[in-house]
Amino acid sequence: MTRAEAKREVLRVAQALDQAGMMPSKSGNVSVRDAKGFIITPAGLPYARTTAADLVTTGLDGSPLGRAKHRPSSEWRLHAAIYAARTDVAAVVHTHSPRATALSCARKGIPPLHYMVLLAGGPIACAEHATAGTQSLAENALRALTARRAVLLANHGVVAVGTTLAAAHALALEVENLAGQYLDLLAAGLKPVLLTDAQLAEAAKHFAGYGRG
């Protein structure tokens, strides 16, 4: 994929998530790994008005490469930390999707109530709280992402990663779906019957490669 093609794909995913109510207006951010760093959505620009030319190509230190019209997303440290530590990750999607974010505000993760948690590698943790845009947030998220492809950020939102942008996008959608199922059960006063490790392992045999893009 050329850099121009990668930028168009990042823009398409960001705008689709915005339209789906998962990254309203200027919240959240999307990136894809680039040969010298990554391509990321810009800071403070509504996605409905963003063009491919507005996206920022940066080095892993967050510094724009070439002439940039805008600053990179304020969460560039989060993306940079993930790319530096996880060679298996080629794309990062960070959303403020409503139901998963609500769950994060209770500082709860998503337990194995449904086998679709396997899309994230297993139960989804909620990272320790840190101020948005800080290196502490990036480090907390990275710890909670150990052996996983998705994490909730306390009082903040969701991070989903993938070997492709399509996979990270699909995972972000599924995290919101799982969060909704969990909240619906809790609201109904029901306690979910969680899948055991053995049941998850059995499901995983039939799940290999699902949704990876």
Q: Which amino acid is at 92?
A: V
**H runs (alpha helix) in the chain:** 3-19, 76-85, 98-105, 135-144, 165-187, 197-205
Active-site choice (5, 9, 75, 128): 75
**Distance (Å, whole) CA 104 – CA 98:** 10
Strands 29-34 and 91-95: antiparallel
**Distance (Å, whole) CA 17 – CA 135:** 25
Active site residue 176: no
- Could you tell me the CA-to-CA distances from 109 to 24, 26, 82 in Å, in that order? 22, 25, 20
- Could you tell me the CA-to-CA distances from 168 to 160, 198, 201, 211 in Å, in that order? 5, 26, 22, 9
Which positions are catalytic?
75
